[in-house]
Amino acid sequence: MAELTGIGVSTGLAGGPLLRIAAVPALPEPAPVADTAAEVEKAFAALAEVVTDLGRRADRAKEATVAEVLRAEAMMADDPMLREAVQESIEGGTDAVHAIDAAFATHRAAFEAAGGYLAERVADLDDLRDRAVAVCLGRPMPGVPQPGHPYVLAARDLAPADTADLDPEQVVGLITADGGPTSHTAILARALGLPAVVSCKGILDVEDGTLVTLDGTTGRIETGVSDETVASVKAQAADAAKAISGATGPGQTSDGHAVALLANVGSGKDAVAAAGAEGVGLFRTELLFLDRTREPGLDEQVAAYREVFAAMAGRRVVIRTLDAGADKPLPFLHQDGEPNPALGVRGLRIARQRPEVLSTQLAAIAQAAIQTDADVWVMAPMVSTVAEAAEFAAAVHAAGLPKAGVMIEVPAAALRAEKLLGVVDFLSIGTNDLSQYTFAADRQVGTLAELLDPWQPALLQLIAACGEAGKATGKSVGVCGEAASDPALAPVLAGLGITSLSMSARALPAVRASLAARTLAECERIAAAVLDAEDPAQARKLAS
Ligand SMILES: C=C(OP(=O)(O)O)C(=O)O
Ligand SMILES: [Mg+2]
């Protein structure tokens, strides 16, 4: 047995055989063909295996659209013209692997030349080629494995495209070599409720099939464990899941101190799925603006906002005005050419240059709010000064919306939290950006994951300053960054004076259960100890 460590980003225990995402195989040097018939057979068998595998996956797919896509891909791999091209190439002296590669290249060129729908299928052809080549070389097919039994998935990092293939009934845990607490893997794992550890150097050196266990809270991984150990970890995970699902109702400590448990959403669909939340703590409005050359008009915005408000009738919805720039570029704002976009014109700063974007959005929010009975709060992203906050609050109130707040994402704002609460009604801490700007560490760079750990005492100290400001003014101070979904951190945040936690809906039950296990006095004691910790590892230990 050996031990590895990484950063735990999605709580829970898991165990099972480890399988890695296989890389796309490189083409070997061409080999002479000794037996043409045997070579053709080998190539056809590889194509047939790809077709069978896609069919199996289509049968297992839960969503009809996914099954349809997989069946369409299978038909492309089963194309007699493709087999003909492969055979011809082998008969001309090319080995099976290169014949497959050449046949797909010809098909690809034809699809591209046809344009339209066919040109859009080029990526599918590339995927089929990679799979057939891998099989021909006796390697596992690239992409997320589909072994038909539960396993722990290991990868360098998960690409958004991998997520469509990720079946939570097969994948019981995630371990990545790269990535940080705000990486795509971490966000996905929390959304699916899968235990996950990121930034685990050495995990890709562990052989496929090795039995492993992982702890998504501590980041500890054991490799080469016995069947008995896996069984015992599974039993512990099942007990924990039962205890978590048993907790319902509003968020509170065991002695009744309320901490509102809210959901992060990007659309009406998300809001409907977040029915178990006490409201929405972060409605990211960017989704509506993405990939557009022109901003959506007033009516379109009203309709989109109304959908979320209607799904949360009678409950709080904190809607954030457009957060564009840096990691969320929007074409219609023409922001190219900034030398350092994360420090450039982004978030509320855009309103200075394009005031009509903010005023249209506020008008749309106000209209949608009138049409539903959600309790609508409006906040601005990337606020740095009290003057910016005051100007924003005035604009929100002038639009007829009573509750105006700002996000705390910049250390300057955290340091002036009490003054900010003098001009706005509430604060919401965006720990993803607050980490980035506190540690001068790009949130998208996996190698900086340790700095972006939400248990960093410096980050917690800034959160504490905001919590103190909230207590002093009696106003609401929430956390809506990824840190809010860490169940072990929830008592710490409550102890620091945080009044609401907003996260992906799937993360709510575990956070609710964690809060319910402590009194407020215990939360405060843990919070004080954690603030004094030397580093994130010690902070975690003090809170456990
Ligand atoms: C919630 C946050 O905003 P986003 O992740 O959308 O930048 C944050 O920065 O923590
Ligand atoms: Mg942010």
Residue 63: the pLDDT is 65
Residue of 149, 184, 200, 397 marked catalytic: 184
CA–centroid distance, 347 to ligand 2, in Å, is: 8
d(CA 485, CA 175): 18
Contact 431, 389 (CB under 8 A): no
Q: Which residue has its alpha carbon closest to ligand 1 atom 8?
A: 430
Task: Show the tokens assigned to 504.
Answer: 């992906």
- The minimum-distance atom of ligand 1 relative to the CA of 327 is 7
What element of type H or E holds 316?
strand 316-320
Ligand nearest the Cα of residue 480 is: 1
CA torsion angle 67 69 71 76 (round to 10): -170
Residue 161 zone, left/alpha/beta (φ > 0; ψ -120 to 50; rest): alpha
CA–centroid distance, 409 to ligand 1, in Å, is: 8
- Our mutation pick for probing the ligand 1 site, out of 319, 432, 498, 504, counting the most ligand atoms within 8 A of Cβ, is 432
Quick check: CB of 481 below 6 Å from ligand 1? yes
Quick check: CB of 433 below 6 Å from ligand 1? yes
Residue 164: the pLDDT is 59
Residue of 136, 200, 466, 480 marked catalytic: 480
Query: Annotated catalytic, 184?
Result: yes
Q: Report DSSP state, residue 24.
A: P
- Our mutation pick for probing the ligand 1 site, out of 190, 379, 409, counting the most ligand atoms within 8 A of Cβ, is 409
- The minimum-distance atom of ligand 1 relative to the CA of 264 is 1
d(CA 256, CA 520): 8
Q: Coil, strand or helix: which one is 22?
A: strand
Q: Where are the alpha helices (DSSP H) in 26-63?
A: 36-60
Quick check: CB of 323 below 6 Å from ligand 1? yes
Task: Show the tokens assigned to 135.
Answer: 């099989």
Ligand nearest the Cα of residue 283 is: 1
CA–centroid distance, 429 to ligand 1, in Å, is: 9
Quick check: CB of 431 below 6 Å from ligand 1? yes
Of the candidates 283, 267, 286, the one whose C-alpha atom is nearest the C-alpha of residue 328 is 286
Ligand nearest the Cα of residue 264 is: 1
Task: Show the tokens assigned to 54.
Answer: 């896609």
CA–centroid distance, 223 to ligand 1, in Å, is: 34
Residue 432: the pLDDT is 93
Q: Which residue has its alpha carbon closest to ligand 1 atom 5?
A: 432
Query: Annotated catalytic, 480?
Result: yes
d(CA 434, CA 432): 6
Q: Which residue has its alpha carbon closest to ligand 1 atom 7?
A: 433
Crossing angle between the packed helical segments 80-91 and 96-114, to the nearest 10 degrees:
130
Contacts of 292 (CB under 8 A, 6+ apart): 330, 331, 332
Residue 93 zone, left/alpha/beta (φ > 0; ψ -120 to 50; rest): left
Q: Which residue has its alpha carbon closest to ligand 1 atom 3?
A: 430
| End-to-end alpha carbon distance in the chain | 25
Contacts of 179 (CB under 8 A, 6+ apart): 157, 158, 185, 186, 198, 199, 446, 449
User: Residues of the chain whose pLDDT is less than 50?
Assistant: none
Residue in this structure with the two tokens 């958004």, named with its chain if needed = 160
- The minimum-distance atom of ligand 1 relative to the CA of 286 is 6
Quick check: CB of 284 below 6 Å from ligand 1? yes
Is the pTM higher than 0.80?
A: no
